[in-house]
Amino acid sequence: MGSGRGTSGPSLSLKTSNKLKRQQLYIQQKKATGKARHEERHRRRKEEAKNPELRRQRLERNQPASIDKKRIWDDVDDDSLGAVVDVAQLKRRRLEEAEAAAAAEADGAQKNTEEKDDDDVDSMLGSDDDEEGGGGSGDDEERMEKLQRERSRRQPSIAPSTVSTNLDITPDSLAAQFKNLFNDEPPVMPKILVTTGLNGTIHKEAQEIASVFPNATYIPRSAHRYSYKYSVREIAKFAKNRGYTALLVVQEDLKRPSQLSVCHLNGEGVPPGPTLTYTIRNYQPGKAIVGHGNPTNHYPELLLNGFKTPLGLLAAKSMNTLFPPKPELAGRQVVTLHNQRDYIFFRRHRYVFREARPTEKNVQGADGKDLEGVKGIRAGLQEIGPRMTLKLRRVDKGVGRAGSEGEDALKWEWKAKMEKKRTRFNL
């Protein structure tokens, strides 16, 4: 039945006319390919066991070229809200420029002093000194080399790690624009009021979101047609008079949470604001998570990852003020807000430290080496929930869009043109 064509070559299974023969050849070819890969991995494992340097070189070569690594920044010396710049890198560059300018000024002053001293010295005495000493130029060269070595010795970087967010590097322009969030006063204990949109029906979801924040109270908005419909500005005034520090409004779409507005009420004599509005995607309640745990009343730890720009630091600081400054470590609860490509992944876990099992390998870093201090220790995680993904849409000066007035009422707003470049992100 077969024509006999295509009986040789690597793609034999694709050229054979007989279907059964083609299937057999495909299986044989797949087994041979898998066997070759297995032998290659086995050989490489033996070589790397003898020489660990080969493993380190292989891991360095096999770094994936992800979009995060291709991220581009604005080449400007601007740290205002909306500028896509790495605040840590910008601050480091400014420090280097200031140090270079100070060093150049010191060199110029030293050179002028030396020239002035040379002019004051008598020519005959100067010649006698040169003849007797004979090493004046050598001393100057050694002194200049010493100064260069001291300048080249860099101080420890103030930049945060590639994951964690350092709020201490907040630029002065951002701190001056939002004085109520970025101030030198010790943080106050948060007291949060959570409510829904007008005629809201997602009371269970809003109550679960309120359970994430300690000292939070959920008050449902009435849906009765004869009841008075309070606006968000009236609710903010009501909450501020009763000592609340923040107001959270959960909007809904198709009976699911779709939007979260965080309004900071501030202290007495200070107008409320700013208001940060997020959209909610992929909301999943805690009960729907497989193997979920039950929350406790302990104050959780807070992890803020991946916020690098001025806008990202504003969002991180806004979330930071919603949690107590001193977590209760006995509860072993942690809330994580991980920013990646302008999407903020919200997770809540409970952790426990245990001994590593004999079959488990040691924790290794990006270079393939075992991390010191964690050998024989493992961390177990149990997700509590809820789980959701946030995306920042706008930043208003006052209480939302309607409660902000003036030319600077709208601080920042997301627009569709911001996603034309896939490697440019705002947070």
Signed CA dihedral, 366, 368, 372, 375: sign only: positive
Split at pLDDT 50, 70, 90, the class of 30 is very high
Range with the poorest average pLDDT among 129-143, 328-342, 402-416: 129-143
Domain 174-420 is of which CATH architecture?
Answer: 3-Layer(aba) Sandwich (3.40)
41 CB neighbour count, 10 Å cutoff? 10
Report pLDDT digits (tens) over 305-330: 999 999 999 999 999 999 999 999 99
Degrees to nearest 5, angle at CA 115 with 113 and 119: 115
Structure confidence at residue 94 (pLDDT): 84
Amino acid 334: pLDDT: 95
312 contacts: CB under 8 Å, gap ≥ 6: 165, 306, 339, 426, 427
Give residue 146's pLDDT band: very low, low, confident or very high (50, 70, 90): low
Q: How far apart are CA 322 and CA 181, in angstroms?
A: 11
In this structure, the chain runs to a length of: 427
Q: What is the pLDDT at residue 351?
A: 93
pLDDT for res 243: 92
Asked if omega into 386 is within 30° of 0 (cis), the reply is: yes
* pLDDT score for 124: 43
Query: Would you state the structure tokens that stand for residue 318, as one six-digit string?
Result: 């806004």
Q: Are 80 and 173 in contact (CB under 8 A)?
A: yes
Q: Round to whole Å and give the CA distance between 338 and 347.
A: 8
Alpha-carbon gap, residue 389 to 282, rounded angstroms? 6
Burial 199-229 (b: 16+ CB within 10 A, else e): ebebeebbebbbbbbbebebeebeeeeeeee
Please tell me the distance from the alpha carbon of residue 89 to that of residue 83, in angstroms, as a whole number: 13
Check residues 208 and 121 and name the one with the higher pLDDT: 208
What CA dihedral angle connects 248, 184, 91 and 274, to 10 degrees?
Answer: 30
